[in-house]
Chains A and B, each alone.
Chain A
Amino acid sequence: MAYQKSYEEINEKIKRGEAVVVTAEEVIDIVAEKGVAQAAREIDVVTTGTFGPMCSSGAFINFGHSKPRIKMKKVWLNGVEAYGGLAAVDAYIGAAQLPDNDPENNVYPGRFTYGGGHVIHDLVARKEVRLEAIAYGTDCYPNKQVDTIITLDDVNEAFIFNPRNAYQNYNCAVNLGDRTLYTYMGILKPRIGNASYSTSGQLSPLLNDPHYKTIGVGTRIFLGGGIGYVAWNGTQHHPNVLRGENGVPKVTAGTLAVIGDLKQMDPNWLVGLSYIGYGATMAVGIGIPIPILDEEMLLYTAVKDEDIYCPVVDFHEGYPYSKPIDLGFANFKELKSGRIEINGKSVVTTSQSSYPRARQIAAILKQWIQKGDFELSRPVAPLPSAEANIDFKSIPERKPDGNGLSGRNRR
């Protein structure tokens, strides 16, 4: 019978400071040297990491009450609106939110120098942030306006809740058109002038556990420099896609929704970003430990850049208008080399995700576990797998009738 380890056994070793922890890069050479059977016995945990733009991110904040009390209708942090359609002094600041007076793309391409991601970064950096709120006033909440300065230490709770992070694989973007494009994949030069990619490949969490056998609801993770948890599958989690023989998806697939205490995080790992012509967003640092429960898990974590592929997608017409344009696949080792070949042409590659930072995250997480500061958690529920047959959906095109669909359901 093949060798097996339990979460409990691994955590016992972590507590004793005896766990053997390696990064998802280091494991590759160890497996090549010692073979799967021996490496699986020796290694307890493999750490992964990724640090890149993740737009579907944000933070819930409870500000505490003003005197008199207020039921905030609209809320702004440094001029960036936070969603206030929650209880009185709760709000959600989204990473991609822009200030109300942002010139956007009116002077194309827009600069997007500040947004929700920058606000979150400033909060974590313990900078002073202006809080403005307006309200209509009620008997229980008479105050109609707040305009003050706060820091992260002044608020009751602040926790990150990111509905879609750590995408399992991502498109490589090119531009088949004749003019420069400004996209969420950065600047794309015309006539396939460059190819832009965004994943940490062999270090990426979900590429090291392609079937979500250990990463599930409740998994403890490195999030933004602090400790967080996988809360749910992320939005657009579509595991039922084309996969290689190694099980690794060849297109975008699984995603994670993650949660964690913002007050414990570090501004180095939550960084506001400005994409010219596109918008503002935030780079999020995520690291996930993978328990080596058996040889199969070890094999997954030993995945190499040369075994990972992603589709080359045109952002001139292919992506924005959902036109099927087949440009083949790019190999991750080649993407990282700085050049790939597309249609017989050598194309320079542009990286959006930081590989050195991903490497650092995997190393930090390894250190936490080795020191006994971070134990592994068994998922309390699995993420939907490929067998769940989740469909890709789009917005339906239907014509609302004269009364308005929303009117029908009104009492």
Chain B
Amino acid sequence: MKNKLVCYFSAAQSEQPVVYRLIKNYDLIINILKADINPQKEGYLVIEVEGERDKYEAGVSFMKSMGIIVDPLSETVLWDEQICIQCGACASFCPTEALAIDRESMMVSFDNAKCVVCGMCLDCCPTRAIKLHFEIKEAV
């Protein structure tokens, strides 16, 4: 199975080689998507974890046993209307028509409810008006 997780950890936990343990002891494939550690060494790690179900579950239990808070990742696509120049390139790559062009006004609009966060739009936007946003808790 494969899942994206947000792991919040304290200063003491950040000293531990967590990712190394997940790979070495639980045979999991770890892809670090984002990491943010503040000067007090607290922070979070956004990882994609892939492996057999029992090992995946054991790995997550291991992290929880260390006091790390593990949450499923919720990603959203953000479209910044201020940066967008309305070229419309994104709409032709969006598989769900979440990004769509009104053919009268030729204006682009974004419907978050239709978005499946495939990320196709991120690469084709020349102004980088579309960003992937990880839902991260403010403080732990």
Contacts and interface: CB of A to CB of B under 8 A. Distances in A.
B126 A357 contact: no
B124 to A, nearest CB: 5
- The CB with the most chain B CB atoms within 10 A, among A354, A355, A359, is that of A354
A198 B10 CA distance: 51
Contacts of B91: 338
A166 interface: no
A44 B60 CA distance: 73
Contacts of B127: 271-274, 283
A194 B92 contact: yes
B103 A336 contact: yes
A336 B103 CA distance: 7
Contact of B89 (A109, A113, A350): A350
A357 B123 CA distance: 22
Contacts of B87: 52, 283, 351-354
Nearest to B83: A271
Nearest to B93: A187
B21 interface: no
Interface in A19-56: 51-53
A142 interface: no
A354 B88 contact: yes
Interface residues of A, number: 31
A337 interface: yes
A178 to B, nearest CB: 18
A276 B124 contact: yes
Contacts of B123: 109, 187, 276
Interface string A255-295: 00000000000000001111110000101000000000000
Contacts of A357: 85-86
A164 to B, nearest CB: 19
A349 interface: yes
A17 interface: no
Contact of B106 (A113, A194, A274, A356): A356
A138 B85 CA distance: 47
Nearest to A272: B127
Chain A interface mostly: strand
A274 B126 contact: yes
Nearest to A359: B106
A349 B103 CA distance: 12
A378 B91 CA distance: 41
Contacts of B105: 356
A351 B88 contact: yes
A351 B89 contact: yes
B101 interface: yes
A205 B85 CA distance: 19
A228 interface: no
A53 B126 contact: yes
A186 interface: yes
B90 to A, nearest CB: 9
Nearest to B124: A187
Given A283-B85, A351-B87, A352-B89, A186 B103 contact: no
A196 B103 CA distance: 16
Contacts of B103: 336-338
16 contacts: A53-B126, A196-B89, A272-B127, A273-B126, A281-B126, A283-B87, A283-B127, A338-B91, A338-B92, A350-B89, A350-B92, A351-B92, A352-B126, A354-B86, A355-B88, A359-B106
Interface of B: 85-89, 91-93, 101, 103, 105-107, 123-124, 126-128
Interface of A: 51-53, 109, 113, 186-187, 194, 196, 271-276, 281, 283, 336-338, 348-357, 359
